[in-house]
Structure 1
Amino acid sequence: MAKTAFLGLGVMGFPMAGHLRANGHEVTVYNRTASKAEAWAARHGGRIAATPREAAAGCDFVFACVGNDDDLRQVCSGPDGAFHGMKPGAIFVDHTTASADVARELAADAAARGLGFIDAPVSGGQAGAENGALTVMCGGDAGQYARAEPVIASFARACRLMGPAGAGQLTKMVNQICIAGLVQALAEGVSFAQHAGLDVEAVVDVISKGAAQSWQMENRHKTMNDGQFAFGFAVDWMRKDLSICLAEAGRNGASLPVTALVDQFYGEVQALGGARWDTSSLIARLPKAGKA
């Protein structure tokens, strides 16, 4: 069993850290809002640290799931960052969805300090985190990955090394690009069925057994049909992720016309007051059945 730390106890990090503890690993947690760390410790019995540096002291692995590139830099190499407290040979595993550039930057910084760094963004959402069934896409050194993978398995159903530092983040970008188009197509399909006077549940039951089947269809058609969006992966977070995809495409020459369009549509959802709605709220910007 490993001595670990987990930095960031949001809707993903809170259950992920819990799975580490449930699998027998020693866990120290840090969260910017201390009350969340206290709630986690009350439920799972681990230790609380006042800073990332303190949490990382003596650990074999330090996990993080924070907001963005700047948050990640702060918990890694800021004045009280984890890199200052980690022992030589320890490995930092970053589950934040961030840029490939920051992954490469922090991997180089870690290596210069005698530390390991794996960029390991996840897919599966809050339900995947709670059920310990996330898909983890990793970038980094193969030897370091081999050491980290059995511990990551505490909350993953699939985990794979995709290449050197940054490759995990690039793979997550592909994931978000694909999701954006799928959710928009599903929103249009559900809306069309409503306008056509069809039974949406019956329609999805049939077509989900054919070529149109997807995770989004099976898990989000009902809430789209019901107009219920107060849960799940927030529009604000999706727009952050899509901005990373579009910026990377601008650098590597990829063309992402559908992704750019869906990003604009999410901007319309934000204007409707849906910044914290689930990403399935794309249907909210479409005209309702029976209205011009």
Structure 2
Amino acid sequence: MTKLAFLGLGVMGFPMAGHLAAAGHEVTVYNRTRAKADAWVAKHGGTAADTPAAAAKGADIVLACVGNDDDLRAVCTGADGAFATMGKGAIFVDHTTVSAKVTRELYAAAKDKGLGFVDAPISGGQAGAENAQLSIMCGGDQADYDAISAVIDVYAKLARRIGDSGAGQMTKMCNQIAIAGLVQGLSEAMHFADKAGLDGHAVIEVISQGAAGSWQMNNRYKTMLDDHFTHGFAVDWMRKDLGICLDTADENGASLPVTALVDQFYKDVQKMGGGRWDTSALFKRLQAL
């Protein structure tokens, strides 16, 4: 049993922290909205804390899954931040998708305090979190990764250290870049099938078994055809992530023309009122044209 703190109990963090409790770890949770923390304790046991600092006190490993760069800084730094009470040798694990810049900034701040810091963004969506089938891409010191690997394996299908601090976030950017193109391609294929008078279900049944098959195709085509988008990974979140990708590409010289275009298509979806729709709503955008 390891003493853990988990900061952020959204659609991903809530079940992830639950898996840790079920595995026998001692878990203290924090959420900006206290009611969610109380609901988690009612379901899983453990303890709820009023601040990240209170949750992190005495923890061997502190894990976080929050919203963006500013949210991550807020739970790490300052008098109420986790770094204020974490003991020397404790390790902070960040599952949030954020910029590599803030990751390296917080890695350095953690090292100054004698703490470890591993960036460990996740992929697999809400279903992956609920079913402990997440893909976790990590950056940071090898020794810190080795120390936390057994804990994150509780909810991971696959976890790997990719490289030094920031490498996990850079890998997550690759993930989001690939998804953006895949979802747009799937949406266009299904839109074309509709315009051609084909049965979309039959089309996907056939092409999913060939070279066109993908996770997005297998898990999203039915809801797309049913015009159901109030689930999954929100367009607002995807635009935040793609913004990070495009900003980083400006810095490292990468060319991302398809990503930039799909980002604008997601902007169109937001204008349709679909900021909280699933990323597969690119299909709905095409249907509305």
Shorter-chain TM range is: over 0.9
Distance in 2 (alpha carbons) for counterparts of 1:186 and 1:252: 29
1:280 corresponding residue in structure 2: 280
- Would you identify which runs of 4 or more consecutive aligned residues in structure 1 move more than 2 Å? none
**What are the superposed Cα offsets for residues 176-214 of structure 1, whole Å, 9 maximum, x if unpaired?**
000000000000001111111111111111111100000
Distance in 2 (alpha carbons) for counterparts of 1:46 and 1:195: 54
Give the deviation of 1:25 after TM superposition.
0.6
Query: What's the secondary structure of 2:154's corresponding residue?
Result: coil
Query: What's the secondary structure of 1:286's corresponding residue?
Result: helix
Give the deviation of 1:45 after TM superposition.
0.4
1:179 corresponding residue in structure 2: 179
Distance in 1 (alpha carbons) for counterparts of 2:8 and 2:255: 34
**What are the superposed Cα offsets for residues 111-134 of structure 1, whole Å, 9 maximum, x if unpaired?**
000000000000000000000110
Superposition pairs of residues 262-273 of structure 1, within 5 angstroms: 262-273=262-273
Equivalenced residue count is: 289
Give the superposed CA RMSD: 0.8
Distance in 1 (alpha carbons) for counterparts of 2:130 and 2:78: 30
Give yes or no for the alignment of 1:89 onto 2:75: no
Give the deviation of 1:285 after TM superposition.
1.4
Distance in 1 (alpha carbons) for counterparts of 2:31 and 2:286: 39
Distance in 2 (alpha carbons) for counterparts of 1:233 and 1:121: 14
Give yes or no for the alignment of 1:228 onto 2:228: yes
2:105 corresponding residue in structure 1: 105
1:208 corresponding residue in structure 2: 208
Distance in 2 (alpha carbons) for counterparts of 1:230 and 1:120: 27
2:64 corresponding residue in structure 1: 64
Distance in 2 (alpha carbons) for counterparts of 1:105 and 1:251: 17
Give the deviation of 1:266 after TM superposition.
0.2
**What are the superposed Cα offsets for residues 154-197 of structure 1, whole Å, 9 maximum, x if unpaired?**
11010000000000000000000000000000000011111111
2:46 corresponding residue in structure 1: 46
Give the deviation of 1:284 after TM superposition.
1.3
**What are the superposed Cα offsets for residues 212-267 of structure 1, whole Å, 9 maximum, x if unpaired?**
00000000111111111011100000000000000000000000000000000000
Aligned AA (2:81): G
1:137 corresponding residue in structure 2: 137
**Mean alpha-carbon deviation: is it higher for 192-201 or for 62-71?**
192-201
Distance in 1 (alpha carbons) for counterparts of 2:157 and 2:267: 33
Query: What's the secondary structure of 2:98's corresponding residue?
Result: coil
2:115 corresponding residue in structure 1: 115
Distance in 1 (alpha carbons) for counterparts of 2:214 and 2:286: 21
Aligned AA (2:137): M
**What are the superposed Cα offsets for residues 139-162 of structure 1, whole Å, 9 maximum, x if unpaired?**
000001001000001110100000
Aligned AA (1:196): A
Query: What's the secondary structure of 1:67's corresponding residue?
Result: coil
1:154 corresponding residue in structure 2: 154
Aligned AA (1:237): W
Distance in 2 (alpha carbons) for counterparts of 1:195 and 1:218: 21
**What are the superposed Cα offsets for residues 47-80 of structure 1, whole Å, 9 maximum, x if unpaired?**
0111000000011000000000000001001220
Structure 1: state its 5+ residue gaps.
none
Please give the TM-score of this superposition, normalised by the length of structure 2: 0.99
Superposition pairs of residues 72-83 of structure 1, within 5 angstroms: 72-83=72-83
Query: What's the secondary structure of 1:29's corresponding residue?
Result: strand
Identity %: 67
Distance in 2 (alpha carbons) for counterparts of 1:230 and 1:223: 10
**What are the superposed Cα offsets for residues 87-108 of structure 1, whole Å, 9 maximum, x if unpaired?**
1100000000000011100000
Distance in 2 (alpha carbons) for counterparts of 1:78 and 1:209: 52
Aligned AA (2:99): S
Give yes or no for the alignment of 1:199 onto 2:199: yes
